[in-house]
Amino acid sequence: MTMKELKILLSNEKNTLALGKNISAHLVEGALIFLKGDLGTGKTTLARGLIMGLGYSGSVKSPTYTLIEQYEFDVFTLNHFDLYRFTDPNEWLTSGFQEYINDHDVSLIEWPEKASELLPKPDLEIKLSYKNESRIVHINSFTEKGHKCLANLS
């Protein structure tokens, strides 16, 4: 299966939240999404838009210290991971987090490179980077689930 890519320019936080909301409208059960980018590029903001787009009305906080936040929806549970504090990829295995990745729940993983080769291939990889005062987002899809979501975004 070939990789497909979409590139989007986000000029502000409002655009980042809107992109997250747009992605949420096209998610399918069991989707695995990697969020990559330097500190401050908007990974958590994008995750917040996605989670709010699914109908969550509470506060969406970064799981930097808790490592995982879970959000229960009618159709699935969304697992939001932040692996920034990992110092060794094996922490993924010892944490037991791999049990949360299944064909039903949606998982967002910030800083997936911290567990690199131990993670399954994502359906979508979203990479945010700085472009002057704006952000550039590269969304790559690697699976049929990812391709369907990406096709609906473009």
95 burial level (CB within 10 Å; 0-12, 13-18, 19+):
middle
Q: Is pLDDT at 127 greater than 90 in this prediction?
A: yes
Q: What CATH number is given to the structural domain containing 70?
A: 3.40.50.300
- Asked whether residue 132 is assigned to any structural domain, the reply reads no
Residue 49 falls inside a structural domain = yes
Residue 127 lies in a domain: no
Token pair 């998982």: residue: 107
- Domain annotation covers residue 95: yes
- Number of structural domains, the chain? 1
Rounded average pLDDT over 37-66: 89
Domain-located, residue 126: no
In a domain, residue 145? The reply is: no
* 82-92 pLDDT tens trace: 999 999 999 99
Percent of the chain exceeding pLDDT 90 equals: 71
Give the domain extent around 107: 13-121
Task: Annotate 121-139 with three-state secondary structure.
Answer: CCCEEEEEEEECCEEEEEE
- Whether the Cβ atoms of residue 38 and residue 127 lie closer than 8 Å to each other: no
Residue 23: predicted pLDDT: 94
Residue 78 and residue 42: Cα distance in Å, rounded? 19
Q: Does residue 62 lie in a domain region?
A: yes
What percent of the chain clears pLDDT 70, i.e. is strictly above it?
A: 98
Q: How far is CA 140 from CA 36, 63, 100, 122, in A?
A: 11, 24, 22, 9
Write the pLDDT tens digit of every residue in 57-72: 888 887 877 889 999 9
Query: Which pTM does this prediction carry?
Result: 0.92
